[in-house]
Amino acid sequence: MMQNPRILAALQERLDGLVGNPSGYIESLPKIVKKRVNALKNLQVKCAHIEAKFYAEVHELQRKYAALYQPHFDKRSDIINAVFEPTEDECKWQGDEEEELSDEVKEKVKVEEEKKDEEKEEPKGIPEFWLTVFKNVDLLSDMIQEHDEPILKHLKDLKVKFSDPEQPMSFTLEFKFEPNEYFTNEILTKTYKMRSQPDESDPFSFDGPEIMGCTGCQIDWKKGKNITMKTIKKKQKHKGRGTVRTVTKTVPNDSFFNFFSPPEVPENGELDEDSEAILAADFEIGHFLHERIIPRAVLYFTGEAIEDDDDDYDEEGEEADDEEGEEEADEENDPDYDPKV
C-alpha cells in the first residue's frame, strides 16, 4: 500500500498539515537549553548528509540489480513480440490446473481446438500488450487519447536505464517502437535528473532523492501525422469593411506523446503554476513507470496489480467505516449524548 503514489500523496498531504505549528514551548526554554537544542539540530544535519549517501548507494544497488533483471525483461519482450515462443513447461501456471478429464473428453476438446485453429489465424506474441497495461492504470489511461491508441499498439518494449557510475544521479525511460506510419524514431526517451543531497538552505526538508528536472526527446513525425498538434479554422470579421475571412491556425492537441515534451525548468528554478502542476504529474508518472510498471508489467496487463491497489483502498475505506461505526456506538451508549446538539 505504501508504494501506491496516490496513497503516498494523501499521506504526505496529511503529514504536511502537521508541520509548522509551534507550541511556543521552545521559545520559553532557557538560553542554555536552546543552545543544546541547536547542537542537536547540527547533529540532525550530519544525519541528513549520511542519509543522502545511503540513497546514493541504493542507486548503485538499483543499477547492479537492473543488470540482473534485464535478461528476464528481454525474454519478456521476445515473448510479447513473437521473437520467442515459450515451451509448454514455461507456459504452465499453477492457477491453470484443471480437473482431470476422461480420454474421450480430452480428445473431443483437442479436435475442437484444432478446428478453431484452422478457422482463424493464430495471433503472434501478445498483441497490444503495453497499450493494455497503460489503459489498465488510471494514472496513464487519463493521458491516452483515442488518436494515441493506434500508435501505442506499435510499442514493443519499455525499459529503464540508470546513469553510469560517478555520473549525476538519473534514470532514462526508453519506449521502443516497431516501424510505423506515424514517426521515424525507433526509440523515444525521457530522462529524469535526480538529486540526493540536502539543500543547504533547508537541510531538514531532505527526504531521499528528489527529481530535479526531466528531458524529453524530439519526435520525428511523418508528414501530416503529428497528433500533438491540430489545425483549427476561425472566422474573422474585418472591423471596417465588415468582410469575413477564414483563418487556419495550428494549436497544441491533447496527446500521450506530449509526455516527451515537458516544460523546461529555468536556471532560477521558478515556474508558473501550470508548469509546476505539469511537472509534478510528470515526476509521479516517471516514478510509477520506473518503480511499478516496468518491473511488474504482466500483473498490470492481467489486472492483478490493479486489484491489489483496489484492495488497499477498500481496506482503508472499511477501517474508516469501522471507526465511524464505533464512534456512533459510543455516542448511543453515552447517557449524556443528545443527537440534537
**pLDDT tens-digit profile of 121-137?**
788 999 999 999 999 99
Predicted pLDDT of residue 329: 44
CB atoms within 10 A of CB 196: 19
> What is the C-alpha separation between 191 and 35, in angstroms, rounded?
44
pLDDT digits (tens, 9 = 90+) for 266-320: 766 677 787 778 888 888 999 999 999 999 999 999 999 876 555 544 444 444 4
Q: pTM (2 decimals)? A: 0.73
Q: Which 8-state DSSP code applies to residue 166? A: T
Task: Give the other-Cβ count within 10 Å of 137's Cβ.
Answer: 19
Neighbouring CB atoms inside 10 A of 214's CB total 24
Instruction: Kindly give the parts of the chain with pLDDT less than 70.
Output: 1-23, 95-111, 113-120, 267-269, 307-341
Determine the pLDDT at residue 188. Answer: 98
pLDDT for res 313: 45
Q: Going from the N-terminus, what domains does the chain have, and what CATH number goes with each?
A: 29-88+105-199+207-322 (3.30.1120.90)
d(C-alpha 112, C-alpha 235), whole Å: 62
pLDDT score for 13: 58
Supply the DSSP symbol for 30: -
Cα–Cα distance measured from residue 193 to residue 205, given in angstroms and rounded to the nearest whole number: 19
pLDDT at residue 107 in the model? 67
Give the whole-angstrom CA distance, residue 143 versus residue 259.
Answer: 9
SS3 content of the chain, % helix, strand, coil (to 5): 50, 15, 35
- Say if residues 52 and 196 touch (Cβ distance below 8 Å): yes
Tell me the C-alpha distance between 164 and 25, whole Å: 48
Q: What's residue 10's pLDDT? A: 58
C-beta separation of 139 from 5 below 8 A: yes
